Amino acid sequence: MKGESVDYAVMENTARAAMVPADMGWSDIGNWPALHAARERDADGNAATGDVELVDCRNVLVDSDGPRVSVIGLSDVVIVVDGNDILVTSAEGAQKVGKLIGALNQ
């Protein structure tokens, strides 16, 4: 299916739309740093999902759907385990994930 945004696919093709003002928090969560910001974090700014152990870490995001991930002494990194795929990057480098050949093939 071709991806198309709601504004083009629906809103521009209906005469029955309405808008209601709303004041709510919103994040597109379109990248790893945004996901990190949206997750519950510990006192050191770490967010972990899955079987994760962090020692002396600051501002680390770990998301593992399987194997245990142990991290010691790192700051500002993103670690993602998705099946057999593992991503380890600095928070700054997370913006370049699309440049990976493996990401382009998926």
Examine residue 80 and state whether it is found in any structural domain, yes or no.
yes
Predicted model pTM: 0.73
pLDDT by residue, tens only, the chain of 106 residues: 677 887 888 888 888 888 899 888 777 788 888 899 999 999 999 999 999 999 999 999 999 999 999 999 999 999 999 999 899 999 988 888 888 876 555 5
Examine residue 83 and state whether it is found in any structural domain, yes or no.
yes
Examine residue 86 and state whether it is found in any structural domain, yes or no.
yes
Total structural domains within the chain: 1
Examine residue 9 and state whether it is found in any structural domain, yes or no.
no
Examine residue 18 and state whether it is found in any structural domain, yes or no.
no
Examine residue 84 and state whether it is found in any structural domain, yes or no.
yes
CA–CA gap between residue 79 and residue 87 (Å, rounded): 6
pLDDT at 11: 83
Examine residue 11 and state whether it is found in any structural domain, yes or no.
no
